[in-house]
Chains A and B, each alone.
Chain A
Amino acid sequence: MAKKALLISPELCIGCRGCQTACKAWNQLPAIKTANRGSAENPPDLTPNLYNRIRYVEMPSESNQVRWLFVSQRCMHCDDAGCIKICPAPGALFKTKEGATAYDKDKCIGCKLCVAACPFDVPRYDEKDKISKCHLCSDRIAEGLAPACAKTCPTGAIRYGDRDSLIQMAKKTGYAKVYGETDLNGLGTLYAFKDSPKIYGMDEHPAIPETVVFWHKVLKPLAYLGLGGAVAASLLHYVAFGPKKDEEVK
């Protein structure tokens, strides 16, 4: 199956946050009480009940004194996903055939390791300590529907479709680079950025934390190798040198 993706174009976003609301409606997530922080951006961060939020970035410059960037922040549906890599519970986090990073709360054991291993600081945990985040509306896309946020967006700032076609479309529209095209083996949430990703609050080169990669590549195999090696060395010693028989010990 062709991989699906979201293409986010901050320049098209008007900050209406219809996507935040549609996401809550589809996923039956309650509203959150927030305090006025002197910013129109609200809520201030992703929460277990907020899978997708619009980040407001003020970018005044000489030529444009009121430049506002509205950037949808949510799970990036990494192909090589740090959350899945570190998760110790079989089946708790998984890729769907469309390429979404979905989860099964019943299988999640609430260790919260995924929270630490995500390069984008996305996963949150609910009051039962279970993972909570955007799952690309995996229940909708499995039925051929667009995710709630993309369906609601009135300006086309969030588009859903075949990943390859979205990338091509962005490139045809004049975006030389699409954020997420190759990062982490290809993200499922792509961005058409006009400027450097940093300005939009995104890492230039997102990567799975080095300790997680080291653990996966070295420490994990070493657990088996160490155990096997120690047992083999013991047997070898027994054959080569034999036990310390009492009559032989001086």
Chain B
Amino acid sequence: MGNQMIKKANAFEILNHWLLAGSFFILTITGFGFLFHLQQVVAIFGSANTMKVWHNYAGIVFSISLFFTIFNYLPVSLKFGVDDMGWITKAGGYFSKKAAIPPQDIINAGQKLYYLFILFAGIAIAASGFFIWLRPQVADIRKWVLLSHLVHNIAFDLFMIAVPLHIYLGTLANPGTLRIMITGTVPVEWAKKRHAKWVQKMGY
């Protein structure tokens, strides 16, 4: 009984997560290469021109992958109730081991907010990126490009803050979490402590 496992993420969700993460990684290092003219990074790609091709096409993968995350996370993230507020006021128990956290859905309130942030900032960075790349024929194109450039870089800065925290919370801070994005399964007992509402709904 104690070793019973429960499926928390299916193969599609896992694959899509790593596509998003992989394209994000390429976008970030090429982005830093462009921002700071990092010759070592340019050298990896051979030339700034090839680096741009990597950046742009990784942007396509990122955008498609971001779109598919909607089906996995958006509906539940929009359901933000009393228990979610409880999680927030107790900061998820990250600053006090004694904090009693209300029962959570398949993803907790922090994960919901993180997802909404990724979706919002992801749409902003993708839309502004495509605008600069495709340069649609509009009046005042120079103003729109500058606005896109601004949005692209603000979103980038936000990603630089949020993603390391996400990686930390998904690995070091919460032992046993990373496997959800590898095998997709976790022990029922482990899930009960963290996603009680969902485990109950699943009939355990």
Contact = CB atoms under 8 A, between A and B. Distances in A.
B157 A219 contact: yes
B149 A116 contact: yes
B161 A227 contact: yes
Contact of B157 (A226, A245, A249): A226
Interface string B136-172: 0000011101110110011011101111110010001
Contacts of B2: none
Interface stretch (B69-77, B91-99, B111-119): B91-99
Nearest to B165: A230
Contacts of A111: 52, 132
Interface residues of A, number: 41
B142 A249 contact: no
Interface stretch (B10-18, B19-27, B32-40): B32-40
B133 to A, nearest CB: 8
A241 B149 contact: no
Contacts of B36: 220
B34 to A, nearest CB: 4
A219 B34 CA distance: 14
Contacts of A219: 150, 153-154, 156-157
Contacts of B46: none
Most-contacted residue by chain B among A88, A110, A241, A249 (CB, 10 A): A88
B193 A249 contact: yes
A249 B98 CA distance: 9
A211 B142 contact: no
B7 interface: no
B30 to A, nearest CB: 10
B160 A244 contact: no
B164 A238 contact: no
A175 B39 CA distance: 46
Nearest to A233: B165
A248 interface: yes
Nearest to B187: A246
Contacts of A245: 175
Contacts of B164: 227, 230-231, 234
Nearest to B37: A90
A226 B32 CA distance: 13
B145 A112 contact: yes
B165 A109 contact: no
Contact of A244 (B51, B146, B173): B173
Nearest to B32: A223
Interface in B52-99: 52, 93-95, 97
A107 B47 CA distance: 8
A107 B174 CA distance: 45
Interface string A44-55: 000000000000
A243 B174 contact: yes
Nearest to A229: B161
Nearest to B96: A241
A230 B36 CA distance: 20
A102 interface: no
A230 B147 CA distance: 26
Contacts of B179: none
A121 B157 CA distance: 28
Most-contacted residue by chain B among A110, A233, A243 (CB, 10 A): A243
B52 to A, nearest CB: 4
A109 B147 contact: no
A81 to B, nearest CB: 15
Contacts of A244: 93-94, 97, 173-175
A184 interface: no
Nearest to B153: A219
B107 interface: no
A243 B35 contact: no
A109 B52 contact: yes
B190 interface: yes
8 contacts: A89-B52, A110-B52, A219-B150, A220-B35, A226-B161, A244-B174, A244-B175, A246-B193
Given A214-B150, A229-B161, 16 more contacts: A107-B48, A109-B49, A209-B146, A215-B153, A220-B36, A223-B35, A226-B160, A227-B164, A233-B165, A234-B168, A241-B94, A243-B173, A243-B175, A244-B93, A246-B175, A249-B93
